[in-house]
Amino acid sequence: MTGKVFFFEPIFKTKIWGGDKLKDFGYDIPSDKTGELWAISAHPNGQSIVKNGEYKGSTLGELWENHREIFGGISGDKFPLLVKIIDANKDLSVQVHPDNEYAQRYENGELGKTECWYILDCCEDAKMVYGVNANSREELNDMIDKGQWEELLKIIPIKKGDFFYVPSGTVHALKAGTLVLEIQQNSDTTYRLYDYDRRDDEGNLRELNIQKSKEVIELKFSNRQSKPIVDYIDGMTKIKFIESPYFTVEKFEIEGCVSLENEHPFMLMSVVDGDGELTVEEDRYSIEKGDHFMLSSKVPKYELKGKLKIMVSYV
């Protein structure tokens, strides 16, 4: 089938805080410090390669450059989204991301980074950093300069199945024992605010980006979370978690068979549990936990069958 359903080869990233939980998705990971799987990406630091069909061997970036009709002819210099799975075996650094305007000015035209997390799994009593307790820019800078991290950082409990919206400017950090699916803008710009005085494999303290962090941190912490909208369709429960300027994210929980319409330039899908079948016209694809694929604008209708949980994102 020409230019309709695209499956991608996984890209793995070794991290100082990574682990081996990605094996649970059936992946052949390169090490027991595998921190990230870039599942669907057109970023220069990790390009997804198509593993099926007419465009097998092409990168997602090449498709975006040369076959914009696959994406409904939408505009933009860069493919807008990036989908990852993150295995935080140890605490991640406390970090913040810039918005589009700041990143384009100071990071060579990079996009800003608004993201969201769906908690695939986590240890009992798991927590994460999500925001700051400072009430003014002066108070924020003073607490940073004095290293008052316990007072500054807002720590919240998390559990499996939680969803968190993390707009640019939000101070955040996953903590040890957390596995998340991350859907984000197509960016790899992170400012490290605090790293627990941790050293890299060579014994050096890891670089911090204090000044840039101070400049981009948003103090107002309203409207970070939206109430999920639940829609019951015969054979499926659809949960819309977020509709933001950069992406909409939904979860499809399927038991049985459901026929659906695609009203978007493209749809990114990550199977986070179960197995089943995707049917587009005459073509059928077996799908299972750990598969990531894209439906192009050339797919007006499709069918999903089985017992499946799928995270879905689109612009």
Which sequence positions are flagged as catalytic?
192
Please tell me whether 43 is known to bind a ligand.
Answer: no
Please tell me whether 97 is known to bind a ligand.
Answer: yes
Checking DSSP bridges between strand 283-288 and strand 266-280, what pairing results, if any? Answer: antiparallel
Token couple for 22: 């990605």
**What letter represents residue 91's amino acid?**
D
CB 79 within 8 A of CB 8: no
Question: For the residues of the chain, what is the DSSP string, one character each?
Answer: --SSEEEB--EEEEEEEEESGGGGGT---S-TTEEEEEEE-EETTEE-BB-SSTTTT-BHHHHHHH-GGGGTT---SS--EEEEEEEESSPPPEEE---HHHHHHHTTT-----EEEEEEEE-TT-EEEEEE--SSHHHHHHHHHTT-HHHHEEEEE--TT-EEEE-TT--EEE-SSEEEEEEEES----EEEE-TT-B-TTSPBPP--HHHHHHH------S---PPEEEEETTEEEEEEEE-SS-EEEEEEEEEEEEEE--SSEEEEEEEEEEEEEEETTEEEEEETT-EEEEETT-SEEEEEEEEEEEEEE-
Please tell me whether 115 is known to bind a ligand.
Answer: yes
Known binding positions for Zn(2+): 97, 115, 172
Known binding positions: 97, 115, 172
